[in-house]
C-alpha cells in the first residue's frame, strides 16, 4: 500500500504537471502577443526575442513529457489520473506548436518591415490575433477550472477565426494584384495570417483534450470548418 506520504507525493506530481501546463500556456500567449506586436510595429528586436524565447517552450514540453512518463511508470495510474497525464502530454504538444507558429510570424517581421503595407491589413491581422489569443486564454481557463460546459464557445470562436482569416486572405490577394511591389510582403503576411489561424486550431485541440480528460469521452470527429480560403479566387484573375 501507498503510505500517506507517498500518496501526497503523487498528488504533488500531478499538481506539478497542471502548473507546468498553466505556465507553458502563459508563455505561449506572450509569444503570440509579442510576435504580432513585432509585426505590426516592425519591431525587429522584439521579433528576435520571440525567436529566442520559443526554445523555452520546447524545453517545457520535454520536461512535461519526461515527468508524465515517469509518473505513469512509477504510479501506474488508473482511469481519471491516467487521462490527466495523457492530457498533459497532448496539451504540451499543442502549446509547443503555438510557440512554433509565433516564431514563424516573428521570422517574417524583417521582410514585411521592408515594405509599406496599408494600415488596414495590420488591423485585420491584429483582430485575428486578438481572437486567437482570447481563444487560447479561454481554453487555459477551462483547463484550470475544468468547466467543460464552456467548450462549445471555444468551437464557435474557432469558426469566427476561420471566417476572419478567409476574408483577410481575400484582402491580401487584392493588394497583391493592385501593385506587384506588394506581392512579396503580402505573401509573407498571408503566411502570418495562416499561422495565427492555426493557433486557433491548436486552442480547439486543447479544448477537445480537456473534454476527454474530464469526461473520458472523445468529442465527435466532425468539426465544422469555416476556413474557406482554399476556394478564394478574385475576379481580377480573370481579366
Q: Are 185 and 114 in contact (CB under 8 A)?
A: yes
Residue 218 per-residue DSSP state: P
For 145, phi and psi rounded to 5 degrees?
-95, -15
Q: How far is the CB of 212 from a second copy (least distance, A)?
A: 9
Residue closer to a second copy (CB basis): 5 or 230: 230
Integer Cα distance of 185 and 63 in angstroms: 37
Binding to a second copy by residue 238, rule CB under 8 A? yes
CB 186 within 8 A of CB 75: no
User: Nearest 5°: phi and psi at 42?
Assistant: 50, 45
- Residues 201, 120: Cα–Cα separation, whole Å: 24
Pairwise CA distance, residues 127 & 144, whole Å:
26
167 binds a second copy (CB under 8 A): no
Among 17, 60, 88, 89, binds a second copy (CB under 8 A): 89
Q: Which range binds a second copy by CB under 8 A, 116-124, 138-146, 151-159, 182-190?
A: 182-190
Please pick, from the candidates 18, 134, 167, 184, the single residue that binds a second copy as defined by CB under 8 A.
184
User: Least separation, in Å, of the C-beta of 62 and a second copy?
Assistant: 6
Coil, helix or strand at residue 98: helix
**Which of the residues 44 through 73 are near a second copy (CB under 8 A)?**
55, 58-59, 62, 65-66, 69, 72-73
Binding site for a second copy (CB under 8 A): 55, 58-59, 62, 65-66, 69, 72-73, 76, 78-79, 82-83, 86, 89-90, 93, 104, 107-108, 110-111, 114-115, 173, 176-177, 180-181, 183-185, 187-188, 190-191, 194, 218, 221, 230-234, 236-239
Amino acid at each position: 500500500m501507498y503510505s500517506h506520504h507517498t500518496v501526497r507525493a503523487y498528488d504533488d506530481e500531478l499538481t506539478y504537471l497542471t502548473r507546468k501546463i498553466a505556465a507553458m500556456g502563459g508563455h505561449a500567449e506572450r509569444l503570440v502577443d509579442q510576435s504580432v506586436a513585432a509585426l505590426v510595429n516592425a519591431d525587429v528586436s522584439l521579433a528576435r526575442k520571440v525567436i529566442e524565447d520559443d526554445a523555452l517552450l520546447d524545453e517545457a514540453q520535454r520536461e512535461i513529457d519526461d515527468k508524465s512518463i515517469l509518473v505513469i511508470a512509477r504510479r501506474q495510474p488508473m482511469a481519471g489520473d491516467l487521462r490527466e497525464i495523457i492530457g498533459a502530454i497532448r496539451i504540451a504538444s499543442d502549446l509547443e506548436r503555438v510557440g512554433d507558429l509565433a516564431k514563424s510570424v516573428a521570422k517574417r517581421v524583417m521582410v514585411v518591415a521592408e515594405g509599406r503595407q496599408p494600415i488596414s491589413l495590420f488591423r485585420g491581422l491584429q483582430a485575428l490575433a486578438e481572437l486567437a489569443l482570447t481563444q487560447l486564454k479561454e481554453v487555459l481557463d477551462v483547463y484550470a477550472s475544468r468547466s467543460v460546459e464552456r467548450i462549445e464557445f471555444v468551437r464557435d470562436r474557432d469558426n469566427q477565426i476561420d471566417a476572419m482569416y478567409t476574408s483577410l486572405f481575400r484582402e491580401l490577394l487584392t493588394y497583391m494584384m493592385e501593385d506587384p511591389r506588394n506581392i512579396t510582403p503580402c505573401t509573407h503576411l498571408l503566411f502570418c495570417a495562416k499561422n495565427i489561424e492555426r493557433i486557433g486550431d491548436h486552442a480547439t485541440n486543447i479544448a477537445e483534450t480537456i473534454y476527454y480528460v474530464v469526461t473520458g469521452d472523445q468529442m465527435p470527429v466532425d468539426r465544422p470548418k469555416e476556413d474557406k480560403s482554399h476556394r478564394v479566387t478574385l475576379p481580377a484573375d480573370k481579366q
